């Protein structure tokens, strides 16, 4: 039987078929090979390769603290490490690492090295990771070093975290009262966010007048007096002398008219006297016209009290007292005599005495240039309360009072105060370096009883 010839028998066709089959097989094998790969596994492998690589990069950047077994040695030299290096290290460290470093610093040998390291660590950490810095302080066991750390935090803290530091103080185990540091925190906070401080005070009230309120009102009054006033008015327990004084003081720095309105409207309130006195004194020193407006708008009783307050303990320029409490007589006396006579004729003597103390010639020259209607009462009040120290000045000035009735009364009181008893006073007059006629005059006008100066 003849064999069928279907063309496949030709060797050319056979080669072609084999080649096609080979190509198909190669392609199929290639594709099958590609699809046999687990893509997720590859990603995992790459990621796992990447992690050690990152870690080693990190170790390069965190050289000051690595390798880990040497951390405790290197953290102790932190005081000399530049912030740019510290920043990267502190930023990438875990909370646990940050706490571990803090603990290691606590365990350093006592001494300046430890203080320097603790200071440097917390100064940097509070800027990079305030929460961790505060938590590390809260966990601290070494109280001496904790104090150093808190000082560092207080110094370097960003302005936005005063509240967190204040809360930290509340929650410190074994709290150690440090008024200077606490003042620093509350003062700074009151400068930037008084409203938040007011909420803190509501949450942590004090039993008595506390410095936090004074800081708060002093600054809030200068930043937003209306809000400060409303907060103060909302609760009677906040209305202390110091609170009123600080609010009005702060307010007057930015809005004198507003502060004055508030002072006039509240002049008769309990605890408001120091605010009035402080405002009047501030105006006398800096804005005499406002001082006049204020004193004339006050009820008579309050006006007299204020005049007494600013005239008492008046003294010359001194660096021992804060300017707020300075009462320079050379400013106060000239202002006083421009006011209605009844407001100052019983107060000015102590101011003149204070001026005599600092510059007697200037005070005398000032008295002598006044018109008689002011000169007489001013000298009279000075003579009535004059001490032994200015006896000669009082005699010289007193005899020149132009109003005879006022002169008799003032010199009579002056003479009586020369001795404990009338007899002693008469004996003292006899010793004065004045004429016989003047001695007789003093004896004649001498009051029956001595007034309190």
Partner 1 sequence: MNRRFRTLIAPGLLLLAAISFFVGRRTEEKALAAKARLKAQPQTSRKAETRPEPPSHRQLAVAEILALPFPEFYEALRAAPGEARQKWAAELEKIPPGPQRRSAVKGFYKLLVQFDPKTASTIVSEITDKDLQSLAVSALVDAAPGFAMRDMAELILHLSTKETEVSNSFADVMKERQPSYYFGDVISEWISIDPAAVARFYDEHPKPNGQELFFNDYREVIIAWAAIDPKAARDWMEKSPTQIEEVYDGFISGWYINDPAAAVSYVLSHATEPILGTAVSGTLSELYLDSKDEAKKFIEALPDGKARHDAIQHAFASMARAGTAEETGEPERTPRVVAEWVTQFPPDYWNGTLRETFERWTEGPPEEVVAWIQSQSPEIEAFLANEYKRPLNKTATEAITTIVQFAEPNLRDQLITAMFRNADQSLDQDKDSIAAASFPPEQKNHLLQIIARVEAEKSSNQNAEE
Among the listed ranges 46-54, 352-360, 373-381, 443-451, the one in contact with partner 1 (CB under 8 A) is 46-54
Determine which residue in the list 39, 180, 208, 436 makes contact with partner 1, applying CB under 8 A.
39
Quick one: which of 11, 207, 237, 436 contacts partner 1 (CB under 8 A)? 11
Query: Which bin fits 7, alpha (ψ -120 to 50), beta or left (φ > 0)?
Result: left
Q: Does 210 bind partner 1 (CB under 8 A)?
A: no
From the list 109, 179, 371, 404, which residue makes contact with partner 1 (rule: CB under 8 A)? 109
CB 416 within 8 A of CB 450: yes
Based on the shown chain and the rule CB under 8 A, indicate whether residue 384 belongs to the binding site for partner 1.
Answer: no
Q: Which of 5, 37, 404, 433 binds partner 1 (CB under 8 A)?
A: 37
DSSP state letters, 281-350: HHHHHH-HHHHHHHHHHS-HHHHHHHHHHHHTT-----SSS-GGG---HHHHHHHHTTS-HHHHTTTHHH
7 part of the interface to partner 1, by CB under 8 A: no
Residues 216, 327: Cα–Cα separation, whole Å: 25
- Could you say whether residue 6 binds partner 1 (CB under 8 A)? no
Determine contact, residues 383/393, Cβ cutoff 8 Å: no
Nearer Cβ to partner 1 (79/360): 79
- The residue within the footprint of partner 1, chosen from 198, 213, 218, 311 (CB under 8 A), is 218
179 touching partner 1, by CB under 8 A: no
| 75, 120, 165, 336: residue in contact with partner 1 (rule CB under 8 A) | 120
Helical H runs in 93-210?
95-106, 112-128, 130-139, 143-156, 162-171, 179-192, 194-203
**What are the φ/ψ torsions at residue 111 (nearest 5 degrees)?**
135, 180
Q: Which of 142, 68, 154 is nearest to 105 (CA)?
A: 142
Q: Least distance to partner 1 from the beta carbon of 199, Å?
A: 16
Q: How far is the CB of 324 from partner 1 (least distance, A)?
A: 5
Are 228 and 194 a contacting pair, CB within 8 Å?
yes
Taking CA atoms, 236 is separated from 229, 244, 408, 433, in Å, by: 12, 12, 51, 60
Site stretch for partner 1 (CB under 8 A), options 74-82, 289-297, 401-409, 429-437: 74-82
User: Does 76 participate in binding partner 1 (rule CB under 8 A)?
Assistant: no
Between the CA of residue 305 and those of 61, 257, 342, 347, 379, what are the distances in Å? 70, 21, 12, 10, 21
Three-class DSSP category at 401 = coil
Please work out the total of residues on this chain that contact partner 1, with binding judged by CB under 8 A: 79
Q: Pick between residue 27 and residue 362 the one whose CB is nearest to partner 1.
A: 27
Closest contact distance (angstroms) between CB of 365 and partner 1 is: 25
Of 70 and 91, nearer to partner 1 (C-beta) is 91
Sign of CA dihedral 213, 218, 222, 226: positive
Interacting span for partner 1 (CB under 8 A) from 119-127, 337-345, 410-418, 428-436: 119-127
Q: Does 31 bind partner 1 (CB under 8 A)?
A: yes
> By CB under 8 A, is residue 196 in contact with partner 1?
no
* Residue 209 binds to partner 1 (criterion: CB under 8 A): no
The two tokens of residue 296 are 């004339």
Q: Which stretch binds partner 1 (CB under 8 A): 18-26, 291-299, 306-314, 342-350?
A: 18-26
Position 444 contacts partner 1 (CB under 8 A) = no
- Least Å distance, CB 407 to partner 1, is 41
The window from 37-45, 98-106, 229-237, 328-336 that contacts partner 1 (CB under 8 A) reads 37-45
**Cα 56 from chain centroid (whole Å):** 47
If binding is defined by CB under 8 A, does position 259 make contact with partner 1? no
Candidate list 107, 110, 204, 444; residue touching partner 1; CB under 8 A: 110
Part in contact with partner 1 (CB under 8 A); list of ranges 68-76, 120-128, 287-295, 347-355:
120-128
Cα separation, 102 vs 129, in Å, equals: 13
Contacts for 221 with CB less than 8 Å, ≥ 6 apart: 228, 229, 246, 247, 248, 249, 250, 251, 253, 254, 259
- CA dist 243 and 297 (Å) reads 22
Instruction: Considering only residues 306 through 345, tell me which ones interact with partner 1, judged by CB under 8 A.
Output: 319, 322-324
Answer for which of 133, 134, 222, 336 binds partner 1 (CB under 8 A) is 222
């Amino acid at each position: 039987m003849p064999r069928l010839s279907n063309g496949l028998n030709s060797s050319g066709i056979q080669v072609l078929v084999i080649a096609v089959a080979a190509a198909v097989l190669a392609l199929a094998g290639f594709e099958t090979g590609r699809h046999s790969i687990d893509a997720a596994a590859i990603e995992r492998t790459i990621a796992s390769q990447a992690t050690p690589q990152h870690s080693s990069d990190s170790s390069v950047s965190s050289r000051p603290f690595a390798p880990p077994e040497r951390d405790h040695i290197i953290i102790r030299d932190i005081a000399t490490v530049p912030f740019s290096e510290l920043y990267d290290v502190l930023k990438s460290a875990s909370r646990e690492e940050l706490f571990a470093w803090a603990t290691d610093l606590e365990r350093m040998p006592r001494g300046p090295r430890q203080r320097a390291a603790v200071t440097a660590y917390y100064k940097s950490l509070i800027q990079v990771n305030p929460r961790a810095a505060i938590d590390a302080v809260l966990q601290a066991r070494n109280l001496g070093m904790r104090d150093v750390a808190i000082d560092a935090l207080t110094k370097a803290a960003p302005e936005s975290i005063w509240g967190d530091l204040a809360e930290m103080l509340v929650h410190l185990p074994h709290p150690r009262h440090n008024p200077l540091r606490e003042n620093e925190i509350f003062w700074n906070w009151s400068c930037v966010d008084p409203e938040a401080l007011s909420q803190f005070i509501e949450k942590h009230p004090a039993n008595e007048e506390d410095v936090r309120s004074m800081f708060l009102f002093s600054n809030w009054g200068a930043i937003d007096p209306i809000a400060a006033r409303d907060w103060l008015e909302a609760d009677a327990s906040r209305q202390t002398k110091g609170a009123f004084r600080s609010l009005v003081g702060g307010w007057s720095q930015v809005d004198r008219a507003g502060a004055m309105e508030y002072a006039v409207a509240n002049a008769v309130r309990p605890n408001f006297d120091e605010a009035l006195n402080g405002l009047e004194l501030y105006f006398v020193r800096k804005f005499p016209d406002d001082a006049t407006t204020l004193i004339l708008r006050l009820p008579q009783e309050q006006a007299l009290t204020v005049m007494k307050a600013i005239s008492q303990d008046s003294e010359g320029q001194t660096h021992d007292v804060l300017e707020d409490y300075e009462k320079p007589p050379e400013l106060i006396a000239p202002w006083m005599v421009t006011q209605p006579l009844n407001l100052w004729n019983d107060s000015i003597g102590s101011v003149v005495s204070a001026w005599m103390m600092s510059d007697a010639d200037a005070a005398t020259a000032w008295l002598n240039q006044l018109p008689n209607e002011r000169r007489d009462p001013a000298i009279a009040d000075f003579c009535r309360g004059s001490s032994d120290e200015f006896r000669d000045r009082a005699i010289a000035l007193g005899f020149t009072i132009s109003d005879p009735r006022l002169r008799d009364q003032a010199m009579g009181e002056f003479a009586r105060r020369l001795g404990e008893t009338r007899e002693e006073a008469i004996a003292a007059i006899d010793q004065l370096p004045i004429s016989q006629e003047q001695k007789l005059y003093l004896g004649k006008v001498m009051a029956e009883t001595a007034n309190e100066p």
